[in-house]
Amino acid sequence: MKPRTQDPSPEEARFSADVHESAVVDEDVVIGPGTRVWHFSHLLSGTRIGGGCTIGQNAVIGPDVRVGNGCKIQNNVSVYKGVTLEDDVFCGPSVVFTNVRVPRSRIPRMHELSPTLVRQGATLGANCTIVCGLTIGRHAFVGAGAVVTKDVADHALMVGNPARRIGWVCACGERLDASLVCPVCGTAHEPAPHGLRQVGERER
């Protein structure tokens, strides 16, 4: 996620965003221009939301969460402290993030947060679960209902419980065949240390 040179004030950020009157936005939240926040959502203190995002109904984000530009967070998603979404991440309805590996109701463990990073362009399908402490690679695609328990490679297509890789996908979302050339947009890919990359693209 590219850092901004200067964050707008909370007042400027709220003025430039479209926040539904039923949403709750804590005082020190920054929302980028063009972002829309829908009914009954709550953005907790210290959270920074990029520009051009869509936050669906009944979402909870924060505290101290970073969401990049162009993200879509659908209905009933909670993005907890310790989770970072880079630019253009899609979270389908009811995606689940965790942030503590061994939670107990009677034992406070917020000091044991395991950070989760969802990298640029990744898609998380409806009702999938992302166990904390992982990295979801760039342009990866996690299928609906999958339970992710390990790091996910760039451009990987993941399904099942526990999730396993069954193929590769293009940045446009189409599944690749053995040639690693997208049948829709024609983009060629090649193996890379963290999964696949577009031919000629530098590893990030």
**What does the pLDDT look like over 144-181, one tens digit per residue?**
999 999 999 999 999 999 999 999 999 999 999 999 99
Q: Which domain holds residue 98?
A: 10-104+111-172
Based on the structure, what is the number of domains in the chain? 1
Residue 161 lies in a domain: yes
* pLDDT tens digits for range 100-137: 999 999 999 989 999 999 999 999 999 999 999 999 99
Residue 191 placed within a domain = no
H helices of the chain, in order, are 10-16
Tell me if 100 is assigned to some domain.
yes
Q: Which amino acid is at 94?
A: S
Nearest-CA neighbor of 174 among 165, 187, 164? 187
97, 80 contact by CB (below 8 A) = yes
188 part of a folded domain: no
pLDDT the model gives residue 16: 77
Residue 61 lies in a domain: yes
Residue found by looking up tokens 């630019």 in the block? 87
How many residues comprise the chain?
Answer: 204
CATH of the domain at 20: 2.160.10.10
- In this prediction, residue 33 has a pLDDT band, given cuts at 50, 70 and 90, of very high
Instruction: Tell me how far apart the alpha carbons of residues 40 and 56 are, in angstroms, rounded to a whole number.
Output: 9
Nearest of 152, 139, 151, 115 to residue 198 by alpha carbon? 139
- Does residue 1 form part of some domain? no
Q: Is the pLDDT of residue 40 over 70?
A: yes
Residue 196 covered by a domain: no
As a whole number, the mean pLDDT across the chain is 93
pLDDT tens sequence across 71-108: 999 999 999 999 999 999 999 999 999 999 999 999 99
Task: Provide the CB-side half-sphere exposure for 142 (13 A, CA).
Answer: 36
Residues 180-201 have pLDDT tens digits of: 999 999 999 999 999 999 998 8
30 located within any domain: yes
